[in-house]
Amino acid sequence: MEAGWIRLLAGALLWVVASAAGAVDCATIQAKYHCPADGRYPLHLSFDDGPALQTMDVLDVLQRERVPATFFILAEKIDCDAILQQCRQKAPSAATDGSQCLEFQQCQTRRQILARAKQEGHMIGSHSYSHLHYSTVEPDLMALHLRDARRLTMPYFTTNPPLFRLPYGDGWFNRKKDGHVMQALQELGFLHVDWQLSAFDWDENNQHDDKILENVLTQVCSRKTGGVVLFHDGVDNQMHEGRLFTTEHIGEWIPAMRCVVDFKPLEYFVKGFRKW
């Protein structure tokens, strides 16, 4: 055989192997998580605690995979005026326009990332100002945080009424205890949005191998129903860096999830709002 033909065959073989490695083996995934081979459960991805620098990577994946998502964001991460103020207090001689304040520059980047999320059609809601258990917070401070969250997130909201999700799953677990918080949210015109499934991606014990994918698919397939699933693109006590295990692997999990779920927009599960 001529050398040219051998090279061509070797190239073709390499291409086949590479394609197989990149392809998702749905039969294996369906069998592993006890999911049906036919039929898909509806699922909506939601991401809390951002925006973070790596939210950009999540947006790239969502764009590539054509998947709609909702981001519940912490207003303190886009409160660039407050961040600049802190910079000035630390270094009064620094330029007042923020050009020498790294935290301010990072805040501006996070705002740009959020603007991109909105422009690309994702839903954006508030996740409060600074991720507190609001039922345990002094009522005046609670009211201030909710008002500030609304004011700062207003340019980025995508719905009417604006969406809100309480930190720590308090809308779920403490809805009764948080009666006055839910009331305050209602008075401010927010629509509270819960989740039905959790990836438990905030738990470091889950941040290995395919554990987080397993968490989602075992819930979906054992309950035989989909819903809104909770992921995290950000970290509640970290301004700029994201929930890295999620932001790095969501691009692998989405094609695998697709063996079992149909990705739906938020309005498939949540009624009572209009998109802007």
Contacting residues toward Zn ion, per CB under 5 A: 48-49, 167
Query: Under DSSP, is residue 119 helix (H, G, I), strand (E, B) or coil?
Result: helix
Of residues 57 and 236, the one with the C-beta less far from Zn ion:
236
Provide the minimum distance between the beta carbon of 191 and Zn ion in the complex, in angstroms, as a whole number.
Answer: 18
Q: Which amino acid is at 123?
A: M
Of residues 48 and 57, the one with the C-beta less far from Zn ion:
48
Provide the minimum distance between the beta carbon of 24 and Zn ion in the complex, in angstroms, as a whole number.
Answer: 30
CB-neighbour burial class of residue 55 (10 A; exposed 0-12, middle 13-18, buried 19+): buried
Q: Report the number of secondary-structure helices (H) and strands (E) in the chain.
A: 10, 12
For residues 146 and 165, give the distance between their C-alpha atoms in angstroms, rounded to a whole number.
11
Of residues 104 and 195, the one with the C-beta less far from Zn ion:
195
Provide the minimum distance between the beta carbon of 236 and Zn ion in the complex, in angstroms, as a whole number.
Answer: 5
Residue 101 tokens read as 């304040």
Of residues 49 and 148, the one with the C-beta less far from Zn ion:
49
Of residues 29 and 235, the one with the C-beta less far from Zn ion:
235
Q: Please, which residues have CB within 8 angstroms of residue 240's CB and are 6 or more apart in sequence?
A: 52, 53, 106, 110
Of residues 98 and 167, the one with the C-beta less far from Zn ion:
167
CA angle 49, 115, 134 (to 5 degrees): 30
Stretch (H or E) spanning 151: helix 139-153
CA angle 265, 220, 272 (to 5 degrees): 35
**Chain Cα centroid distance, residue 89:** 33
Q: Are strands 159-160 and 274-275 parallel, antiparallel or unpaired?
A: antiparallel
Provide the minimum distance between the beta carbon of 131 and Zn ion in the complex, in angstroms, as a whole number.
Answer: 6
Provide the minimum distance between the beta carbon of 46 and Zn ion in the complex, in angstroms, as a whole number.
Answer: 11
Provide the minimum distance between the beta carbon of 163 and Zn ion in the complex, in angstroms, as a whole number.
Answer: 14
Provide the minimum distance between the beta carbon of 169 and Zn ion in the complex, in angstroms, as a whole number.
Answer: 8
Looking up tokens 């507190």 gives 132
Looking up tokens 């190239």 gives 11
Provide the minimum distance between the beta carbon of 47 and Zn ion in the complex, in angstroms, as a whole number.
Answer: 10
Nearest residue to the partner Zn ion, using Cβ: 48
Of residues 128 and 219, the one with the C-beta less far from Zn ion:
128
Residue 30 tokens read as 């369906």
Of residues 162 and 167, the one with the C-beta less far from Zn ion:
167
Q: Please, which residues have CB within 8 angstroms of residue 199's CB and are 6 or more apart in sequence?
A: 206, 212, 215, 216, 229, 230, 231, 232, 246
Do 87 and 220 contact (CB within 8 A), yes or no? no
